[in-house]
Amino acid sequence: MALGRRNSERRGEFGIAAAETAAGPRHVYFERLNAIMAEAV
């Protein structure tokens, strides 16, 4: 058993919403696939 503080106690709460994160470039294949699937519905 280790002695000391847990990281969660030291850092506090760390949470961000997915919408707040930076969106990277999307793959062209999946963009086209999603468009085809949307048309099929």
pTM of the model as a whole: 0.40
Q: Which H or E run includes 36? A: helix 28-40
CA 36 from centre of chain: 25
Tokens of 38: 């949307």
- Measured in whole angstroms, the distance separating CA 29 from the mean position of its chain's CA atoms is 20
Residues (pLDDT < 50) of the chain are: none
3 state SS of 41: coil
pLDDT at 22: 73
* Rounded distance between C-alpha atoms, residue 7 and residue 5, angstroms: 6
